[in-house]
Amino acid sequence: MTDDPRSRLSDDPRQPLDVRIDSPAREGLTGTTPASLYTRLKEDDQITIAPNWRPMDEQPSWRTDFPIDWPQDHYVERRDFMKFMVLTSLAFTVGQFWIAAQNWWRRRRGRAEITRIASLDNLPVGGIVTFAFPGPHDDCVLVRPQENVLVAYSQKCTHLSCAVRPRVEAGVIHCPCHEGYFDLAMGRPISGPPRRPLPIVHLEVRGKQIFATGIEERTT
C-alpha cells in the first residue's frame, strides 16, 4: 500500500491540504503549515486558560471535570474587589461626616457650667479629689502638688479611656492599663502608648472654694 500524504490529512476537517508546493491554498506561505491553521476556532473571550498556563490535556482531572473559564474568573474577581473597595470608600466618607456631626453636636452643647468641685480646706498638699465635669459621666481628677499649685485633668486616658491615677510624689499620672505616663504639671504624655495630652480642666479659686470653669482638649 502506498503512503499518500493526502490520505493522512483527510480525517482532519481543519486541514484540507493540497500538498503540492504550488497549490493555490499554499500561495504566499513559506512553510508547510496550512493557511487554515491560522484561522481562529474560538473568540479570545471564550478560550479557557488554566492558572498554570498549561494546556488543558496536561491539567489534573479535577480541573477538567470542573472546567472554569479562568480569565473570566480573574476578571470577575477583580471587578468584585473593586466594588468592595468603593463600598469601603463610602464607609470612610460616612465616618468623616459622622465626625463632623459629632463636632456639630459638641458645639451645640455650648460651654460647660461653672461647677464647684472642692474646697482648699479639704485638699491638703499632695491630695487628690475626683469629680465629674462637665457631665455626670465625665470623670476628672484634681491634684494639689504644691501649696499654691492646683491642676485638674480628665481622668480618661487618651489612649483607650482607662482611668488614670496621679502619683504626686513621682510627678506623673499613670495609666495602669497599658503603662502610659503623663506629666503631672502639664498632662502631656511622656511614655507609653498615649499620644495626646489629657484634657485640662480650667480652675478658678474663689475664697477657699475651687471651681471648674471649662475643659480643653489638646492635640499637643
Site string for other proteins, 85-104 (x = CB under 8 A): xx-xxx-xx-xxx-xx-xx-
Q: Is 81 in the site for other proteins (CB under 8 A)?
A: yes
DSSP assigned state of 214: E
> What's at 171, amino acid-wise?
G
Would you count residue 49 as binding other proteins (CB under 8 A)? no
Give the residues across from 119 on adjacent strands: 209
Is 82 near other proteins (CB under 8 A)? yes
CA distance 188 to 143: 15
- Binding-residue pattern over the window 1 to 30 for other proteins, x denoting contact by CB under 8 A: ------------------------------
Distance CA 15, CA 5 (A): 12
Binding of residue 122 to other proteins (CB under 8 A)? no
Nearest distance in Å: CB 211, other proteins: 21
Short-list 138, 102, 99, 87, CA closest to 117: 138
Alpha-carbon distances, residue 137 vs 14, 99, 154, 155 (angstroms):
84, 21, 11, 11
| Cα atoms found within 13 Å of the Cα of residue 146, Cβ hemisphere only | 5
The three cell numbers of residue 171 are 510627678
The only residue of 14, 20, 74, 202 in contact with other proteins, by rule CB under 8 A: 74
Told to check if 196 binds other proteins by CB under 8 A, we report yes
Gyration radius of the chain over CA positions: 40
- Rounded to the nearest whole angstrom, what is the least distance from the CB of residue 154 to other proteins in the complex? 11
User: How far is residue 78's CA from residue 72's CA, in Å, rounded to a whole number?
Assistant: 10
Provide, rounded to whole angstroms, the least separation between the CB of residue 9 and other proteins.
32
Provide, rounded to whole angstroms, the least separation between the CB of residue 104 and other proteins. Answer: 9
Please say which residue, 6 or 79, places its beta carbon nearer to other proteins: 79
**47 or 205: CB nearest other proteins:** 47
Minimum CB distance to other proteins smaller for 167 or for 196: 196
Which residues lie closer than 8 Å to 10 by C-beta, 6 or more apart?
16
d(CA 173, CA 190): 10
Nearer to other proteins, 14 or 83 (CB): 83
What residues make contact with other proteins under the rule CB under 8 A? Answer: 44-45, 71-72, 74-75, 78-79, 81-83, 85-86, 88-90, 92-93, 95-97, 99-100, 102-103, 107, 158, 195-196, 199, 216-220
